[in-house]
Amino acid sequence: MHMQDDAPHDASAAPPALLLVNLGTPAAPTARAVRRYLAQFLHDHRVVQLTRWLWCPLLHFVILPLRSPKVARKYAEIWMEDGSPLAVHTAALATAVGARLPGWQVRHAMRYGEPSVATVLAELRAQGVRRVRVLPLYPQYSTTTTTSVEDAVAAAVPGSGLQVQLRRDYHLDPGWVAAIAERIRAHWQAHGRGERLLLSFHGIPQRLVDAGDPYARQCEASTAAIAAALGIARKEIVLTFQSRFGREAWLQPYTQQTLEALAREGVRTVDVACPGFAVDCLETLEEIAMQNAEAFRAAGGQALRYIPCLNAAPAHADALAALARTDAGWS
């Protein structure tokens, strides 16, 4: 995607900008704030493809009232002093990347909630920026996430005077792969190697993969690249998918069921990393490190050792800054 306003300006003189876009998160761990967040998220046709007349009543009268208080309690368990982990870590990551790109304006925005993509792009423009590189913080491309960011950018750019380039994925970027591998290696050095290494990616409906979404293929390719960077065989990694939403089939094998099966087979320790998440969030800190860890123990396992996301680690910031500087891969 290349979006360019038709204003006749010389863009080369103005400082370039990098906009890191993450999913978004509630403003507070309350049912009211979660409801507001989920309402925006779940109205996105990239996320839920049901027709409005069918989906809207179900969403407004069943899903939002029932799910919001339940999910708010989960957010409350992981909330940090400065806010939701996803927001805190995304802001810290943008600061770390900015420190590596002198002369660039580096900002972050959220697809749902604040700060919105439109607001931050408008602020950048007001500060004299002409050229923006938008990097969705999803290493693996999916229509449900990356294309949704493209939609938000496409809605904000016309008439803004901004030249925008977007990077669709970085699932095989050597800097990113090395950073993930180093994270796992450091965990092994600190805690010893568990009996299994499991990589859990966020799922999407199988229906979307069947329709051509490359997400599953990219998760598999990332996993093979991480295995190679760790110097282990691909078959030494268990690849699973988490966070199923709704009743239709999602990508399989499912993370929790796999962990329970491993425990029943006698596996006592599992190291779990979530390389599809740039930063820690509800789906890693609550679902994996708390809920799935408990399920693993309940099925007879001893310890699920969660390996945190890259967050604002130097190697992560180095990798994203290098992506921003490199002209190839942007369109």
**One of 169, 173, 213, 283 touching ligand L6N33NVT (CB under 6 A):** 283
The option from ligand L6N33NVT, Fe ion, none interacting with 90 (CB < 5 to 8 A, set by class) reads none
Return the one option of Fe ion, ligand L6N33NVT, none that residue 145 interacts with (CB less than 5 to 8 A, by type).
ligand L6N33NVT
Write the burial class of residue 211 (CB in 10 Å: 0-12 exposed, 13-18 middle, 19+ buried). exposed
Given ligand L6N33NVT, Fe ion, none, residue 134, with its beta carbon under 5 to 8 Å by kind, binds none
| Binding site partner of 142, from ligand L6N33NVT, Fe ion, none, Cβ cut-off 5-8 A by kind | ligand L6N33NVT
Window 129 to 158, contacts with ligand L6N33NVT (CB under 6 A): 138, 142, 144-145
What is the sign, positive or negative, of the torsion defined by CA atoms of 263, 269, 275, 278? positive
DSSP bridge partners of 163: 4, 131
Q: Binding site annotation covers 283? A: yes
Euclidean distance between CA atoms 171 and 138, whole angstroms: 8
Specify the amino acid at residue 325.
R
Judged by CB under 6 A, does residue 281 bind ligand L6N33NVT? yes
Residues in the chain: 331
CA distances from 40 to 34, 81, 94, 110, 202 (A): 10, 25, 24, 12, 19
Stretch that binds ligand L6N33NVT, among 98-106, 220-228, 265-273, 275-283 (CB under 6 A): 275-283
Question: Which parts of 50-89 interact with Fe ion (CB under 5 A)?
Answer: 56
Q: How far apart are CA 105 and CA 197, in angstroms?
A: 38
* 101 DSSP assignment: S
Contacting residues for 162 by C-beta, under 8 A, at least 6 apart: 3, 5, 121, 124, 125, 129, 130, 131, 132
Task: Enumerate residues 54-73 that contact ligand L6N33NVT by CB under 6 A.
Answer: 67, 71
Q: Is 47 in the site for ligand L6N33NVT (CB under 6 A)?
A: yes
Peptide bond before 115: cis, by omega within 30 degrees of 0? Answer: yes
Out of Fe ion, ligand L6N33NVT, none, what residue 144 binds, judged by CB under 5 to 8 A for its kind, is ligand L6N33NVT
Binding site for ligand L6N33NVT (CB under 6 A): 23, 25, 38, 41, 47, 67, 71, 84, 86, 138, 142, 144-145, 202, 204-205, 243, 245, 276-277, 281-283
Binding site for Fe ion (CB under 5 A): 56
